[in-house]
Amino acid sequence: MLFGAPQYLVSGLTVGATYGLTALGFTMIYNTTGIINFAQGEFVMLGGMLSVVLLKAGLPLPLAILAAVLCSALAGCLMERAVIRPVGRAAPVNLVIITIGVSILVRGVVMLIWGKDTFALPAFSGAKPLRFLEASVQPQSLWVLAITLLVLGALKLFFSRTIHGKAMLACACERKAAALMGISVERMAMFSFGMSGFLGAVGGAILTPITLTSYDVGVMLGLKGFAACILGGLGNPFGAAAGGLILGVLESFGAGFISSAYKDAFAFIVLLLLLFVKPTGLFGGPKSDRV
């Protein structure tokens, strides 16, 4: 009955890390601006696609990834400056629609420039699988999990120890008060878009050796990442990462033990059930109005 369970767990964690990294990007922007950025999946795609393109242009792999990640972070900043800030204090729902527009635009531009093909990236340290219990693990999966944990740790430090991190949290709590304290709310918003571009692109670049990439991978990732956010509790970075991992493992076990035809359904059914019981998500605190 339990045949293959270790393998399902490993596969689930690897895929889950993708969702988790995307979910982190959502959380980042939500925490500073209150917007759900539906172009988050496009940042992931940009990270992967730009790495592929730069690698083909002759850069060595680490440099190509670094450049791709920086470009995506820049794209994030640019997005805030060019389309979010000019709208000013519009209702969040309007801004959310704008992010959907941006995602379609980015997808279209990438498709026009680099075409509709799927691309692969070489694994960072060979493709020879390691045996672990009964499961075989790709070295790249370890890279993905390690980098995800590293990013998570760095974020924790950033928000609790640095002045910029605290300033971003302050903007999330109360924009006006933060502005009165001398924090540039607009700069913080731009910064958060840049960071989530960075996070998404890191995810895209480290995952491409496993999952391949194409101009439209962002759509599904964005959706799953958003679901992971909700599962973990919107606004909680650790909830987002954990939500992603749980979602991935649920899918993998569902496909393995019940039926692969309904793989996508299991995760969403569990999500719905959870929201009935605990609407704030697994790790979301009770919602309270600020006085």
Partner 1 sequence: MAWRAFTALCLVLCSLLPAWASDTLKIGAVLSASGPASFLGEPEKNTLVMLQERINAKGGIGGKKIEVVIYDDESDVNKAVLAAEKLIKKDQVSAIVGPSISGNTLAIMNKAAEAKIPLLSMSAAEKIVNPVTPWVFKTPQSDRLAVQGILAHAKAAGVAKMAIVTVSDGYGQSGREVLKELIPAAGMELVADEVYGPKDTDMTAQLTKIGGAGAQAVICWGTNPGPAVVARNRAQLGMKTPLYMSHGVASQKFIELAGEAAEGLVLPASWLIVADQMPDGPYKTLLTGYITDYTSKFGVAPSAFGGYAWDALTLLAEAARISGDTTPQALRDGLEKVSGFVSATGTFTFSPTDHNGLDASSFAMVEIKGGKFVLLR
Task: List interacting residues with partner 1 (CB under 8 A).
Answer: 3-4, 7-8, 10-12, 14-15, 18, 116-120, 127, 129, 136, 138, 207, 210-212, 214, 216-217, 219-220, 252-253, 255-256, 259-261, 263-264
Minimum distance between the CB of residue 269 and partner 1, rounded to whole angstroms? Answer: 16
- Taking the complex as a whole, the smallest distance from the CB of residue 8 to partner 1 amounts, in Å, to 5
- The residue among 14 and 31 lying less far from partner 1, judged by its C-beta, is 14
Q: How far is the CB of 14 from partner 1 (least distance, A)?
A: 7
For the CB of residue 120, give the shortest distance to partner 1 in the complex, in Å: 5
Query: Based on CB atoms, which residue is closest to partner 1, 114 or 158?
Result: 114
> Cα–Cα distance between 219 and 152 in angstroms, integer?
23
Nearer to partner 1, 129 or 279 (CB): 129
Contact yes or no for 213/3 (Cβ under 8 A): no
For the CB of residue 55, give the shortest distance to partner 1 in the complex, in Å: 14
Phi/psi at 212 (5° precision): 65, 165
Give 171 or 221: the residue with its C-beta nearer to partner 1: 221
Q: In what helix (H) or strand (E) does residue 137 lie, and over which residues does it extend? A: strand 135-137
Measure the CA–CA gap between 251 and 258, rounded to whole angstroms: 10
Measured from the CB atom, the residue of 192 and 208 that comes closer to partner 1 is 208
Question: At its nearest, how many Å lie between partner 1 and the CB of residue 57?
Answer: 17
- C-alpha–C-alpha distance, residues 37 and 22, integer Å: 11
Other residues' Cβ atoms within 10 Å of the Cβ of residue 143: 18
Contact assessment for residue 54 and residue 213, using Cβ atoms and an 8 Å cutoff: no
Nearest CB to partner 1, comparing residues 48 and 281: 48
Per-position DSSP letters for 69-105, written without gaps between them: HHHHHHHHHHHIIIIIGGG-S--HHHHHHHHHHHHHH
Residue with token string 């680490």: 62
